[in-house]
Structure 1
Amino acid sequence: MLSVPELDLLTIVLLLFAALAAGWVDAVVGGGGLIQLPALLLVPGITPVQALATNKLGSILGTATSSITYYRRVGPDLRTAGPMAVAALGGAVGGAALAALIPADLFKPVILLVLAGVLVFTLARPKLGEYDDLRWVGNGHRRIAAAIGLLIGGYDGLLGPGTGTFLVIALVSVLGYSFLPASAIAKIVNFATNLGALIFFVPAGHVIWTLGLGLGVANLVGAYIGARMAVARGSRFVRVVFVLVVAVLILRLGWDVADEWLS
């Protein structure tokens, strides 16, 4: 078992605050990895794979909490969430197995372009995600949901940040859900992707347990608050937070890409 590095009080406080904020953002619309994973990378001596694995442990407590909260208060369609989550779990296991082999830097420019397209698409359609307008029926609907889960699950195991955001926009723009039920389904699927990644990371010994569990408690609190706020305020609130999170993701990734190109 990996031991937690020696951390000063300020670093611990910052890590816990980052996990709390990440849990809130993840519960509302996804993208909490944008906050929690970079914070973990500031820990002295931690490797990128250890940070990714420990981030999954911290995140899974938050996604479990928000999934339960949404299930009780929104009642997401499990006929969509079920096959999507199973496929996403398998994709996450495969993605995690590749995480130590493929440089993350190769993916950042592509992800940046995709996020920019998502933001433009969302802003250009102000009514998008305001009401349910489901596409396909029966097995066709479930097959498309499973395909989305497999693709995004693979990305989550491989890299992670923005997974919940990608799930929400796919559920809204491809399957036709409004933002609130899309976020509810996304949490169930995101729990499965976190679990899938941990199925690989735990036996491989990449998880720093003490640190991950501490972050998990803070993530859990943020997730509970965020899910209740989303349910209380509805799809319009979720849409606003979604646009803000995507914009921040673009700025963050754009900064990283520019810094790498200039260095």
Structure 2
Amino acid sequence: MPDISLTTLLFLCLAAAAAGWIDAVVGGGGLLLLPALLLGMPHVSAAHVLGTNKAVAIVGTSGAAITYVRKAPVQVGTAVRIGLTALAGSMAGAFFAAGISSAVLRPVIMVVLLGVAAFVMLRPSFGTTRDRGPVTRPRIIAAVVLVGGGIGFYDGLFGPGTGTFLVLALTAVLHLDLVAASATAKIVNVCTNAGALAMFAYQGSVLWQLAAVMALFNLAGGMIGARMALTRGAEFVRGVLLVVVLSLVAKLAFDQWSG
């Protein structure tokens, strides 16, 4: 574990719990967890921050996925097919991530967030009701190739917002409501996290002791978030998504301009 203060460790653990909750409800817990790791460990390399983020996130994501599968209508077979493609994509992305400087992460995350916020705000009914159109074979193929491969690669390369992108893409491509899309996204996200984590571990870019402590908090947050999403429905998920995205845009913009 790096030499960090008890205050910093507590901050990172609380951020991990909040990120787990957010990730289970709307996806994108990395949009909170990754900036927290960058803030708490400014002198640690970007590769180690990304690798540690994956080691924490996979635990909470797995807990949320199990909770969803037990109670939500999830097409597990489709989710696994998308997930396996995403796993390969995330390993490829993680391979290239070692050369990324932490200086580029904040502006990239901010641009990603602005795109998500604009999309959700311009489509107020998006994901609040299930589209009654059929889910055709071409749509499933598109989900496997584009959603799985493309977002999987992004997850390994950068990571933040992957769960949110999965929720949005699955809602659009497979006509899922936001709760069903969140449930499916958790299964896919477990695969992308596993692929990226395997590559980061191979490269020696994971702070395992710190990740183990933070993962416990992330797991608790993820399981609580999944239960709340299942209980309160799509409108609750959409509201949380907008609040989280806009808050993080403001925070990252302030950090970028003040730094």
TM-score when normalising by structure 1: 0.89
Identity %: 46
User: 2:132, 2:208 → 1: CA distance?
Assistant: 41
Q: CA deviation at 1:236?
A: 0.9
User: 2:8, 2:108 → 1: CA distance?
Assistant: 32
User: 2:107, 2:44 → 1: CA distance?
Assistant: 25
SS at match of 1:248: helix
User: 1:14, 1:225 → 2: CA distance?
Assistant: 19
Q: Check the 8 A contact 2:46/2:101 in 1, yes or no.
A: no
- Give the partner amino acid of 1:52: L
User: 2:120, 2:181 → 1: CA distance?
Assistant: 14
1:177 alignment counterpart: 176
Report whether the alignment pairs 1:30 with 2:27: yes
1:131 alignment counterpart: 129
- Give the partner amino acid of 2:15: A
Q: CA deviation digits over 1:207-244, x for unaligned, max 9?
A: 11111111111100000111111111011111111111
SS at match of 1:174: helix
User: 1:159, 1:210 → 2: CA distance?
Assistant: 22
2:243 alignment counterpart: 244
User: 2:205, 2:233 → 1: CA distance?
Assistant: 38
2:226 alignment counterpart: 227
Q: CA deviation at 1:199?
A: 1.3
1:198 alignment counterpart: 197
2:148 alignment counterpart: 149
- Give the partner amino acid of 2:218: N
User: 2:112, 2:29 → 1: CA distance?
Assistant: 18
Structure 2 gaps of 5+ residues are none
User: 1:219, 1:134 → 2: CA distance?
Assistant: 35
Q: CA deviation at 1:130?
A: 1.3
Q: Check the 8 A contact 1:19/1:216 in 2, yes or no.
A: yes
Q: Check the 8 A contact 2:34/2:49 in 1, yes or no.
A: yes
Matches within 5 A, 1:32-181: 32-41=29-38, 42-43=40-41, 45-103=43-101, 112-113=110-111, 115-133=113-131, 137-146=135-144, 147-181=146-180
Structure 1 gaps of 5+ residues are none
Q: Check the 8 A contact 1:28/1:230 in 2, yes or no.
A: yes
Alignment RMSD, CA only? Answer: 2.1
Task: List structure 1 segments (4+ residues) > 6 angstroms apart after TM superposition.
Answer: none
User: 1:46, 1:106 → 2: CA distance?
Assistant: 14
Report whether the alignment pairs 1:19 with 2:16: yes
User: 1:256, 1:68 → 2: CA distance?
Assistant: 36
TM-score when normalising by structure 2: 0.90
